């Protein structure tokens, strides 16, 4: 396989990863603005491929037709088009992933796993689209929202692994010889903690949505008085996540040289965690500003992505160490 073909796959895959993170950000904006049911049906929006721009374009009984079981049935053009653009972004992701899959065919002769990983991502994105429809049909059921978010994390993880695997020879050159033996174990625990935190965050968001609906999306300063216990668990858990990842970053700082890719990833990891915590603090203390929630959500997803990439790097670098280990002859 020539270098140009490999680079094309990596560029497409990397672009797709950033595009998925972008759609997660857009999804956060949809949630923060209360636009999740801006289009009450799926795949159309109010029965149309292109949604209306005014209530006059809808039938008189649209409340009964499109919003059965949903409390707020009033048409809101901003919320409708916010959700519609969110869906268009998801469709764009589908095309990018198809192109990534198409370009991965070149690896069928050298590393079939790269192709099958890309195929799995393509199929899972289709399933994710179906799951998004279920979220709408169940009127934003908390468990469906959580599953929708965790599947997005899994899709990104598969993409990261596919791109990393396509350049595993480069990653094998990373020097991890001075990292402590328990580093990988602590990193695995940190990834698990991040997943738990994301799952709790979706439940907190659902509670906030109910509180926001009760206050008609105004009086944000009073929302905090109604926060459930899971909010305080979620908030306190962030301190444990911070200290765990600070330990990881410190060990990387102590063990590798300044040009090592792991050091740059460690800096990025701590920067993302601090940003996520600051966004969370603003949600708690500044009356739930709408701009903070999408940032908080995006940072959480990026944190897991960086952790997972570091985990892959460690695995490939460890394989090189094993192959270089001296063999002891038995007398």
Cβ contact 108:166 at 8 Å: no
pLDDT for 309 equals 96
Residue range 151-165: mean pLDDT, rounded: 93
Pick from 148, 300, 156: which is nearest to 234 by CA?
300
Domain boundary residue, one of 123, 144, 166: 166
Residues 15 and 155 occupy one common structural domain:
yes
Average pLDDT over the chain, rounded to whole? Answer: 84
Q: How far apart are CA 183 and CA 255, in angstroms?
A: 11
Cβ contact 103:8 at 8 Å: yes
Q: What is the largest CA-CA distance in the chain?
A: 91
Residues 123 and 1 occupy one common structural domain:
yes
Residues 15 and 161 occupy one common structural domain:
yes
Residue range 96-104: mean pLDDT, rounded: 93
Residues 220 and 203 occupy one common structural domain:
yes
pLDDT for 219 equals 65
Report the DSSP beta bridge partners of residue 45.
48
Cβ contact 139:73 at 8 Å: no
Residue 203: give its domain's CATH number: 1.20.120
Residues 204 and 284 occupy one common structural domain:
yes
Residues 271 and 189 occupy one common structural domain:
yes
Which of these ranges, 38-52, 231-245, 250-264, has the smallest mean pLDDT? 38-52
**What is the extent of the structural domain holding 115?**
1-166
Ramachandran quadrant class, 97 (left: phi over 0; alpha: psi -120 to 50; beta: rest):
alpha
Q: How far apart are CA 166 and CA 93, in angstroms?
A: 21
pLDDT for 1 equals 62
Where are the extended beta strands (E) located within the chain? none
pLDDT for 249 equals 96
Residues 81 and 108 occupy one common structural domain:
yes
pLDDT of 36 above 60: yes
Residues 178 and 229 occupy one common structural domain:
yes
Residues 110 and 222 occupy one common structural domain:
no
Q: How far apart are CA 104 and CA 166, in angstroms?
A: 9
Residues 4 and 82 occupy one common structural domain:
yes
Number of domains in the chain: 2
Residues 136 and 185 occupy one common structural domain:
no
Instruction: Supply 242's token pair.
Output: 């911070």
pTM: 0.82
What length is written for the chain? Answer: 331
Residues 13 and 65 occupy one common structural domain:
yes
**Residues contacting residue 95 through CB under 8 Å, at least 6 positions apart:** none
- Which pairs from 201-207 meet CB under 8 Å and 24+ separation? 201/234, 201/296, 201/297, 201/300, 202/142, 202/145, 202/146, 202/149, 203/142, 203/146, 203/230, 204/228, 204/230, 204/231, 204/234, 205/31, 205/145, 205/293, 206/140, 206/142, 206/145, 207/231
Domain boundary residue, one of 166, 200, 221: 166
Domain boundary residue, one of 128, 148, 166: 166
pLDDT confidence bin for 216, thresholds 50/70/90: low
pLDDT for 230 equals 86
Pick from 88, 126, 92: which is nearest to 18 by CA?
92
Cβ contact 38:76 at 8 Å: yes
Per-residue pLDDT tens for 235-259?
A: 899 999 999 999 999 999 999 998 8
């Amino acid at each position: 396989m020539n270098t140009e073909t490999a680079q094309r796959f990596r560029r497409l895959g990397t672009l797709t990863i950033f595009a998925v993170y972008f759609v997660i950000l857009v999804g956060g904006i949809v949630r923060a603005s209360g636009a999740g049911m801006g289009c009450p049906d799926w795949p159309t929006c109010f029965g149309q491929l292109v949604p209306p721009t005014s209530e006059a374009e809808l039938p008189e009984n649209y409340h009964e037709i499109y919003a059965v079981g949903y409390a707020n049935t009033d048409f809101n053009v901003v919320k409708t088009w916010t959700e519609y653009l969110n869906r268009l972004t998801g469709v764009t992701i589908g095309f990018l992933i198809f192109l990534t899959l198409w370009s991965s065919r070149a690896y069928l002769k050298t590393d079939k796993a790269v192709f099958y990983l890309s195929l799995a991502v393509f199929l899972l994105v289709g399933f994710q689209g179906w799951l998004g429809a279920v979220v709408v049909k169940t009127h934003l059921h908390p468990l469906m929202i959580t599953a929708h978010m965790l599947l997005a994390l899994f899709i990104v993880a598969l993409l990261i692994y596919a791109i990393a695997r396509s350049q595993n020879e480069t990653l094998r050159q990373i020097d991890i010889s001075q990292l402590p033996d328990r580093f990988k174990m602590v990193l695995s625990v940190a990834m698990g903690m991040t997943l738990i935190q994301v799952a709790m965050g979706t439940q907190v968001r659902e509670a906030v949505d109910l509180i926001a609906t009760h206050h008609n999306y105004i009086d944000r300063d009073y929302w905090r008085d109604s926060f459930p216990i899971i909010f305080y668990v979620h908030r306190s858990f962030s301190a444990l996540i911070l200290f765990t990842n600070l330990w990881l970053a410190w060990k990387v700082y102590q063990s590798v040289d300044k040009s090592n890719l792991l050091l740059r990833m460690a800096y990025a990891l701590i920067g993302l965690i601090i940003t996520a915590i600051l966004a969370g603090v603003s949600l708690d203390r500044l009356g739930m500003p709408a701009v903070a929630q999408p940032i908080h959500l995006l940072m959480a997803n990026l944190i897991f992505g960086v952790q997972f990439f570091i985990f892959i790097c460690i695995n490939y670098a460890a394989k090189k160490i094993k192959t270089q280990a001296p063999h002891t002859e038995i007398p």
